Structure 1
Amino acid sequence: MRDPSGRLLRLLSLLQSPREWTGAELAERLGVSPRTIRRDVDRLRELGYPVDATQGNIGGYRLAAGKAMPPLVLDDEEAVAIAIGLRTGATAAITGIEDASLRALAKLEQVLPSRLRARLTALSQAEVVLSPGAGPTADPEALTALAAACVANEKVRFTYTKAEGGPAKRLVEPHTVVAAGRRWYLIAFDNDRNDWRTFRLDRIAEVHRTGLRVPARTLPGAVDPATWLTGSLIAATGSVRAQVLLHAPIEEVAAQVPGRNGILEPVDARTCRLTTYPDSPQYLARAIALLPVDYTVLDPPEVRAELRALTDRASRALTSGRRRS
């Protein structure tokens, strides 16, 4: 690339990917010499970008975290993906993120090229994002800190308030953060209890990353986090789960029923079973009513009663409509 300004932006875009680049790799990508790459890296540093360099045969360049966030360089698809995420975040079940998402979206749309603004305008006119409804929300700072600790295999301390008791200090090894329905959960190994535990994020406060990294643990039975979460919450206080027999093959259902609805298991060649995440009977009945296949609610009675009430209201609404016409 002969245009120095364009080459600098392209170099910055490459360095913003989560990997380390050798000088030879960057030179090949940009069609210049390694010496030119060194000069361009120095130029980026002068502009405030913290570019780290390691020496040796396997050394290379990477963009480090600085005191302030420098401007990002995004391609078209990345910019659209971020804008869509911000629109969704405006209705997320996370405390205070709605206004922050809208502010960030306004800043992004202001600098987008006209061709991308047209795509987002078309999307906003056609989309409808449902609110998660009333209920507890997660703290965004706690969510991001715990997610980062999961990736880094780093122990954290926090204060946790149980539904039936007061706050208590916990020291854990975070494994996964899971969004299930309207709630967020942390799956972690509790060092004080020497066992795995599940924590609701809306009950976590005062998160402190210790800086102590430990080997990654595997969930008991080598199950996936969604399966573990469902199993650990089955006996959760103040919530219920439902089991629903779906009258369709699991291959067909899996393509239509999202993972947030629960865990699917095959029963036979023509049916499968859905085990929902624990929640209130009212919420579960509404979620089950929207299933796109025929079904039979197996248990519990509370959910069946709520589903019957929904059916009765819908029947009365239809009958009332016929009378008016």
Structure 2
Amino acid sequence: MSTGTRVLELLGLLQNRRHWPSHELARRLSVSQRTLRRDIDSLQELGYPITATRGTGGGYQLSPGASLPPLILSEDEAAAIVMGLQEITSGPSPTSADAALSAMAKIVQVLPVRIRRRIDSLRAVAVPARNPEARVGITDVASLTTLALACRDTETVEFAYRTRTGQTAARTVHPHHIVRAENRLYLIAWDLDRADWRTFRVDRVGDASRTGTTFAPRSLPADDPIEYVRARIRAMPARYPVRATVGAPAERVREEIAHYGTVEPIDDTSCRVEIAADSLDWATFCIGALDAPVVVHGPPEAIAYMRAWGRRLTAASVTRATVFRGAEPGGADPEQRTRRKHAPPQAPGLPVAPLRQRPAPGCMAGEG
């Protein structure tokens, strides 16, 4: 075994166990104690923080260093990698989770303390148990980390916040908790300028900085921070209050709509649904995904938008006859050829009437 290969194997052993007795390392590598010490010195010269202990039970272990070992990673990249591995570790695949956990342990083992604190601070992010495979888009890791640290240390924080109208305003808050809800991250904080509780979308926060001033934490006016954020979201005026009647039992529809809207029974086989949304895309998806007859009552923008969806989906179902004309004998799909075969005789030169397509289920046509 060459010296380089042996040193790499030594590094792998040190990463796989917290502490190695020196005689055990020497035995595993089939080298003398003297050669082992030279290899340890080589790794230390490369920047790996290896600590040696003497006496009975003495040996070697990797320790947190003052800087990253030469992995060609910035501190932000190292933190991002560990955060990503944490996501995989909690994922549905046992094989991937085990590998991610092993890799994460090796990286965290040699991270400087300041980076460990940044990663540990993200444990303050509350994630609801439902839908564990949903992922949150994090656009500014530095701001998220700053907010999480300030939540943990009860420290006043300042940041620039982009409102729903696109305007940016400076905010100074006492951060309480970071919550994941509706596939977004929200900061719950006491706004010093408004003297009241506020929720902020983390993806709209920029230039977050800690002031160094600590505060006495207030009690949140709710037992569950996640439900508190959801209640605040529902209380906000939505751009489109979409109302519809669904031909299915309220209990079944409520399971599918979940907390994205309200469901009220009409009778045993139908119910009323209302979804308050800023995006017609989202409301259309929620209603269109219901496997039941639907009639949308308003607002007019929603009716027109969903009708357009229905037309596009209907057109997509007959595109084959037009786009792939000539792909099969006769220049039409089998259904069209069968219809033409059994159609009544027509005058020469008159076109055959196209097939009439029913609207796709759930893509509804609005009232009236």
TM-score by length of 2: 0.45
The structure with the largest alpha-carbon Rg is 2
